[in-house]
């Protein structure tokens, strides 16, 4: 009986403000995805997998994120909860899995937030060389913290406008790059024209294996779309806004990412598409856009702030969920009068600062482990979403539910969630062959095992305390 009491879950959204509109959710997901992974490190995929291989890798990534998002859509529309995929994993895959998913996702964003503040401070030094990095990092941290603490509405509006800057930049890049490919711009110092980059070294100059090896980086670039599920718990009309947000976001992301990679692969030689400089800056400078570096410096700065903003939102909601489920002190589940989990936001920000300090004090040990775990976490979370959808559908039908009555349902079940799981597994297998990324498995798998271990240890202790409290109560009333 004590175990049943422990795992009983209250309504997780009874006090959250329902202030997010469809445009907020769409931009939250787009803003969470379009970031430094696209603006800075997209050239890595071109360099490693070759032009055609990079396009294929991002097409696979787009398919993978579509499969995962429709699975999340069915769950989020039927059960719009702030805990989202962590709550679904708890309910349909087991409380240990839900606990592990929540900590994996929280850690992912805690690590990311700290690095975003540092990178943003470094970018500001370009314009203000006489100021220290930490001052700018602190100012951005205060701004992001305030955006999250004051109200959900302020957070949503801030994220909307920050994301809009990034979206417009990507659209501009694709349009200008497409015009350059068609010969509408005179490009100097560019070896080759048209689609010659795709055949100059052969279709697959580095082989087929690098395509699989880059899938983890591609998956990480697409991470953030799952924020739709978390935001569903604070949406005004989740049954309408969530399906629309998922369809709109997935289509736009596929066009943005695949279109961007195609332009990069077409205009930049594979050897130059590395990590030294933003590939966006390189293309703009080749075309002759004035002040390219400053323009992209501003855009990347907004991308960093936006990622930190949405990351703090996501991380705090995961802590709130853990507290609501009884895994953490109840104070982290308390909400302010404006409906924000202030204590969870404070602790998440503290985790980001701790991650930031580890990057300075222990970059080759602690920070390396944190980054490696967070890199693997996204595909693990996505696998849990697909697996939860399978378990939900089975239970729903077994209890007499009709699939036709679902407001949003996965078409092509069970092949869609199975396909999502297989794509995620392919990404995990691919990194096993890359010595530079293999460390994600070395740290990530033990961390997952540790989360399960901690859950079961604390679960048993909690059950013992509940049993003791029940026995004391019984003896006192006898």
The secondary structure of 176-207 as a DSSP string is: HHHHHHTT-S---S-SS-TTGGGTTT-S-TT-
Dihedral sign for Cα atoms in the order 363, 365, 368, 371: negative
- Let me know if residue 85 belongs to a domain: yes
Q: At what angle do helices 42-78 and 238-267 cross, to 10 degrees?
A: 170
- Let me know if residue 418 belongs to a domain: yes
Q: What CATH code is carried by the domain that includes residue 214?
A: 1.20.1740.10
Residue 335 DSSP code: -
Cα–Cα distance, 351 to 111 (Å, whole number): 8
Query: What is the value of pTM for the model shown?
Result: 0.84
Helix-strand-coil split of the chain, %, nearest 5: 75, 0, 25
Which tokens is 11 given?
Answer: 């309504």
- Let me know if residue 192 belongs to a domain: yes
- Let me know if residue 464 belongs to a domain: no
Cα–Cα distance, 381 to 263 (Å, whole number): 30
Cα–Cα distance, 22 to 42 (Å, whole number): 29
Model confidence over 433-449: pLDDT tens digits? Answer: 777 778 888 888 999 99
Give the CA angle between residues 299, 302, 304 to the nearest 5°. 110
Cα–Cα distance, 54 to 270 (Å, whole number): 10
Q: Return per-residue pLDDT of the chain as tens, 478 residues.
A: 333 334 444 444 446 777 777 788 888 877 777 776 677 667 778 888 888 888 898 888 888 888 999 999 999 989 888 888 899 999 999 999 999 999 999 998 888 888 888 888 888 888 998 888 889 989 999 999 999 998 888 888 988 898 888 888 888 888 888 888 887 776 665 544 567 778 777 778 788 888 887 887 787 778 778 888 888 878 777 888 888 888 888 888 888 888 888 988 888 777 776 655 677 777 787 777 888 888 888 888 888 888 889 889 999 999 998 888 888 888 888 888 888 899 999 999 999 888 888 877 777 777 777 777 887 888 899 999 999 999 999 999 999 989 988 888 898 889 999 999 998 888 888 777 777 778 888 888 999 999 999 998 887 765 664 465 456 556 655 5
Burial 357-366 (b: 16+ CB within 10 A, else e): ebbeeeeeee
* Burial group, residue 155, by CB count within 10 angstroms (0-12, 13-18, 19+): buried
Number of domains in the chain: 1
Please say whether the beta carbons of 25 and 240 come within 8 A: no
Instruction: Name the residue range of residue 65's domain.
Output: 22-459
- Let me know if residue 474 belongs to a domain: no
Cα–Cα distance, 349 to 347 (Å, whole number): 5
- Let me know if residue 478 belongs to a domain: no
Give the contacts of 146 (CB within 8 A, at least 6 positions apart): none
- Let me know if residue 320 belongs to a domain: yes
- Let me know if residue 15 belongs to a domain: no
Residue 329 DSSP code: -
């Amino acid at each position: 009986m004590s175990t049943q009491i422990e795992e009983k879950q209250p309504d997780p959204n009874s006090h959250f403000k329902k202030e997010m509109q469809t445009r907020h959710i769409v931009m939250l997901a787009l803003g969470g995805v379009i970031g430094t992974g696209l603006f800075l490190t997209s050239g890595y995929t071109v360099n490693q997998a070759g032009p055609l291989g990079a396009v294929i890798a991002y097409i696979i990534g787009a398919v993978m994120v579509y499969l995962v998002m429709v699975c999340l859509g069915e769950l989020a529309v039927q059960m719009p909860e702030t805990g989202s995929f962590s709550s679904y994993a708890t309910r349909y895959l087991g409380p240990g899995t839900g606990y592990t998913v929540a900590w994996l996702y929280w850690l992912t964003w805690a690590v990311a937030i700290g690095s975003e503040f540092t990178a943003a401070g470094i970018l500001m030094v370009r314009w203000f060389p006489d100021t220290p990095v930490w001052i700018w990092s602190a100012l951005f941290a205060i701004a992001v913290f305030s955006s999250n603490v004051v109200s959900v509405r302020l957070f949503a509006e801030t994220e909307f406008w920050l994301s809009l800057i990034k979206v417009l930049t990507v659209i501009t890049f694709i349009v200008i790059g497409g015009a350059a490919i068609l010969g509408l711009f005179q490009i100097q110092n560019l070896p080759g024209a048209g689609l010659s980059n795709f055949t100059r070294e052969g279709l697959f100059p580095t082989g087929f294996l690098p395509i699989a090896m880059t899938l983890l980086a591609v998956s990480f670039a697409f991470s953030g779309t799952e924020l739709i599920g978390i935001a569903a718990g604070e949406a005004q009309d989740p049954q309408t806004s969530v399906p629309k947000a998922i369809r709109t976001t997935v289509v736009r992301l596929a066009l943005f990412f695949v279109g961007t990679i195609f332009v990069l692969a077409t205009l930049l030689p594979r050897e130059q598409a590395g990590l030294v400089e933003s590939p966006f800056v390189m293309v703009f400078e080749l075309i002759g856009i004035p002040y390219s570096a400053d323009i992209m410096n501003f855009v990347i700065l907004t991308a960093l702030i936006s990622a930190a903003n949405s990351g703090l939102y996501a991380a705090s909601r995961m802590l709130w969920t853990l507290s609501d489920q009884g895994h953490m002190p109840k104070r982290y589940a308390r909400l302010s009068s404006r409906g924000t989990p202030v204590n969870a936001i404070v602790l998440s920000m503290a985790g980001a600062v701790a991650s930031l300090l580890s990057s300075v004090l222990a970059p080759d040990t602690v920070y390396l482990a944190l980054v490696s775990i967070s890199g693997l976490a996204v595909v693990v979370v996505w696998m849990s979403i697909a697996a939860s959808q399978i378990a939900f559908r089975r239970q729903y039908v077994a209890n007499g539910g009709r699939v036709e009555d679902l407001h949003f349902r996965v078409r092509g079940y069970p092949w869609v969630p199975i396909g999502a799981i297989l794509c995620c597994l392919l990404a995990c297998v691919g990194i096993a062959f890359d010595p530079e990324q293999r460390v994600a498995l070395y740290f990530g798998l033990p961390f997952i095992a540790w989360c399960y271990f901690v859950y079961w240890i604390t679960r048993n202790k909690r059950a013992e305390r509940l049993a003791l409290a029940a026995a004391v109560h019984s003896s006192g009333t006898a």
